Chains A and B, each alone.
Chain A
Amino acid sequence: MVAETIVKIRELTKIYAQGEIQVTALDHITLDIAAGEFLALMGPSGSGKSTLLHIIAGVDRPTSGECLVQGVDVTKLNETQLADWRNQNVGFIFQTFNLIPVLTAAENVELPLLLTQLDRRQRRQQVEMALEVVGLGDRAKHLPRQLSGGQEQRVAIARALVTDPKLIVADEPTGNLDSHSAQEVLTALQSLRRDAGKTIIMVTHDPKAAAFGTRQIHLEKGELSA
Chain B
Amino acid sequence: MALPLKYNFRNVLVRWRATLATILGIALVVAVYVLVQALAVGLEKSAGNTGDPRNVMIVRKGATAESSSQVSLAQFQTIRYWPQVAHDENGAPLISADVITLISQPRIDGRGEANVSVRGLTPLGRQLRPQVKLVAGRWFTPGQREVAVSEKMARRFTGFHVGDTFHTAGNDLTVVGEFDGGNSAFDSEVWMDADEARSLFDRENYSSLLVRVTGPTAAQELLARVESDKRLPLRAEAEVKYYGDQTATALPIRILGNFLATAMSVGAVFAAMNTMYASVGARTREIGTLRVLGFRRRSVLAGFILEGALLAAIGGVLGCLLSLPLDGYSTGTMSFNSFSETVFEFRITPWLATKGMIFSIVVGVIGSLLPALRASRLPVIAALKSV
Binding site for B on A (CB under 8 A): 54, 57, 59-60, 79-80, 83-84, 86-88, 92, 94, 96, 98, 100-103, 107, 111-112, 114-115, 159
The digit string for B284-315, where 1 denotes a CB below 8 A from any CB of A, is 01101111111111000000000000000000
With A98-B285, A102-B7, A102-B10 known as contacts, the answer to whether A83 contacts B296 (CB < 8 A) is yes
Q: Is the CB–CB distance between A100 and B289 below 8 Å? A: yes
Interface pair B380/A59, CB less than 8 Å apart: yes
Contact B7 A100 (CB under 8 A): yes
Question: Nearest CB to that of A117 among chain B residues?
Answer: B1
Q: In the complex, how many angstroms separate the beta carbon of B194 from the nearest chain A beta carbon?
A: 72
| A159: chain B residues within 8 A (beta carbon) | 293
| Candidate in B4, B288, B293 with the most chain A CB atoms within 10 angstroms | B293
The 3 closest A-B pairs by CB, nearest first: A87-B294, A102-B10, A98-B289
Say yes or no: A94-B289 contact (C-beta < 8 A), given A84-B294, A87-B294: yes
Q: In the complex, A102 Cα to B286 Cα: how many Å?
A: 11
Taking A101-B286, A114-B4 as given, write out 4 further A-B residue pairs in contact, using a Cβ cutoff of 8 Å, ordered by the A residue number.
A54-B381, A100-B290, A103-B4, A115-B293
Docked-complex contact A103 and B381, CB < 8 angstroms: no
Tell whether B384 is near chain A: CB-to-CB under 8 Å: yes
> A80 contacts which chain B residues (CB < 8 A)?
296
Find B292's partner among A79, A86, A103, A114 (CB 8 Å cutoff): A86
Which chain A residues border B285 with CB–CB below 8 Å?
96, 98
A45 vs B379: C-alpha distance when bound (angstroms): 21
Residues of A within 8 A of B4 (CB): 103, 107, 111, 114
Q: Which residue of B lies closest to A51 (CB)?
A: B381
6 pairs, A vs B, C-beta closer than 8 Å = A59-B380, A94-B289, A100-B289, A101-B286, A103-B6, A112-B294
Identify which of B11, B294, B381 gathers the most chain A CB atoms within 10 Å of its CB: B294
A100 and B286 contact, Cβ closer than 8 Å, known pairs A83-B291, A83-B296, A107-B6: yes
Whether the Cβ atoms of A60 and B381 lie closer than 8 Å is yes
Across the interface, which residues of B come within 8 angstroms of A114, CB to CB?
1, 4
Q: Quick one: closest A residue to B288, CB to CB? A: A98
Interface membership of B14, Cβ < 8 A: yes
In the complex the two chains form, is A59's CB within 8 Å of B381's CB?
A: yes
Shortest beta-carbon distance from A174 to chain B in Å:
18
Q: Which residue of A has the minimal Cβ distance to B379?
A: A60
Q: How far is the CB of A118 from chain B (nearest CB, A)?
A: 11
Chain A residues with CB under 8 Å of B286's CB are 98, 100-101
Q: How far is the CB of B279 from chain A (nearest CB, A)?
A: 12
Min CB gap A161→B, angstroms: 13
Question: Scoring B residues 5 to 35 as 1 if CB is less than 8 Å from chain A, else 0, what string do you get?
Answer: 0110011001000000000000000000000
Structural contact, B292 and A59, CB atoms closer than 8 A:
yes
How far, in whole Å, are A115 and B4 apart by their CA atoms in the complex? 11
Kindly name the residue among A80, A83, A92 whose own CB sees the greatest number of chain B CB atoms within 10 A.
A83
Q: Is there an interface contact between B1 and A115, defined as CB atoms closer than 8 Å?
A: yes
